[in-house]
Amino acid sequence: MKHLLKVKIYYEDTDCGGVVYYANYLKYFERARTGLFESRGMDLKELMDEGVFFVVADAGLKYLSPGRYGDVLSVETSVDKIGRASILFGHRVLREGTGEVLVEGTVRIGCVDRSLKPMRIRGDIIEPLKDYAQADDTMDR
């Protein structure tokens, strides 16, 4: 299963040539991950209040074709791997209407406590994400 987020491209999202500024895709990925958590009944603010934080540990993007001013994009998000203290998300950005893949990427987030030390991801966080896992072997035991 994949989570979908629609993003309309406004002028502010683009460079002077009307092409989506490359770093904005990371923002779209972040919005999509937050949306995935919320769709599974998790409130990131509540988790933060409980001392559970998620930080980006690494990210990789491959740009295949430019998004442009006026486009509507779909950001697909899946859970590629769940580790003890991290989650690897897969992202694809497609142009609405044509289905053309514009960007592919991964982002690994780490779970940390208030002092930013790694901590094991709680079961009540992992369980709702399993529906978005790509395969049965996504758990890192």
**What are 39's strand-pairing partners?**
none
Catalytic residue, chosen from 15, 43, 58, 131, is 15
124 is catalytic: no
Where are any strands of DSSP class E within the chain?
3-8, 53-63, 72-82, 86-95, 101-112
Task: Output DSSP code: residue 130.
Answer: G
Query: So which residues are the catalytic ones?
Result: 15
